[in-house]
Amino acid sequence: MADLQAPRARYRQVADQLRDAILRGEYAPGDPLPSQPELARQYGLNQTSINRAIALLRHDGLVRVEQGKGAYVQALPTARRVRRIPHVGDRDSTFAAEMRRLGLDPKTDLVTAVVAKPPPEIADRLGAAADRDVLVRERHMYASGRPVQLATSYIPVEIAGGPDIADPDTNPASLYERLGKRGHRPAHFAEEIEVRRATPAEAAFLELAEGQPVIEVTRLAKDADGRVLDVAVNVLSGYQWRLVYEWSETGHPRESDRP
């Protein structure tokens, strides 16, 4: 029987021991954990306590639970979303490059490319009236068949010219090249990051347990005059991604600027 020490809650100690075993590699990505009856015998606890321990691991994003089958170690490793400042032009998808670095097969489906009215919060960011049409471009992104990211962009239709600019599907860098050919070249980018609870639709697509957070990254692309050309909203599992921002010093103060 595994050793549990009072007075700390025993189900939390079980979760800690299983977490340590996962991080040590005793249970590899995709491996099943022992069944709840087996864990209950191993730790001398009832299955309610074991279920609470598994719930903690689900909340941490370490395991997924398949109804009627049991708990499995999450199959996907933590991925990095890297952004470099100043921006270094790269026509390759950073998403695809990161998935391949992890030994995973990247896939992106263009789900929607339609002209529609923007949600109010998007209209605010575009500085547009609520009745202004935008091109809504929604993409679903996968790693070796598992959903990992939702990406939706909103481009004023007078800038996009219509849905055809999204066909064939392409990554954001190449899409901005297409906008540039229409005379709307992005010159400035800004990203806003929020950690929040997943909506039911997001949780269903990303296969998240109830209560798990998502990272919402909203990117604004502006032209040299400050006009917003695109609002892109990316939603990622909060426990599956690490955001990395790298920047370089681009200049030194002039002699006259020094104190």
The rounded distance, in Å, linking the Cα atoms of 132 and 241 is 34
The structure's pTM equals: 0.76
**How confident is the model at residue 258, as a pLDDT?**
47
CATH code linked to domain 10-73:
1.10.10.10
Least trusted range by pLDDT, from 49-53, 161-165, 190-194, 211-215:
211-215
Q: Is 89's pLDDT higher than 60?
A: no
E-strand ranges in the chain read 63-66, 70-73, 79-85, 106-116, 134-143, 146-156, 188-197, 213-222, 228-237, 241-247
**How confident is the model at residue 182, as a pLDDT?**
95
The rounded distance, in Å, linking the Cα atoms of 176 and 182 is 10
The rounded distance, in Å, linking the Cα atoms of 83 and 99 is 15
Do 10-73 and 79-247 share a fold? no
**How confident is the model at residue 80, as a pLDDT?**
83
Of the two residues 18 and 210, the one the predictor is more confident about is: 18
**How confident is the model at residue 176, as a pLDDT?**
93
Per DSSP, 222 falls in state: E
Dihedral over Cα of 157, 132, 114, 156: its sign? positive
First to last CA, the chain: 69
Topology of domain 79-247, per CATH?
Chorismate lyase (3.40.1410)
Burial 151-183 (b: 16+ CB within 10 A, else e): bbbbbbbebbeeeebbeeebbbeebbeebeeee
Annotated domain spans of the chain: 10-73, 79-247
The rounded distance, in Å, linking the Cα atoms of 241 and 212 is 13
Q: Is 254's pLDDT higher than 70?
A: no
What mean pLDDT comes out for the span 186-210? 91
Percent of the chain residues past pLDDT 90, beyond the cut: 59
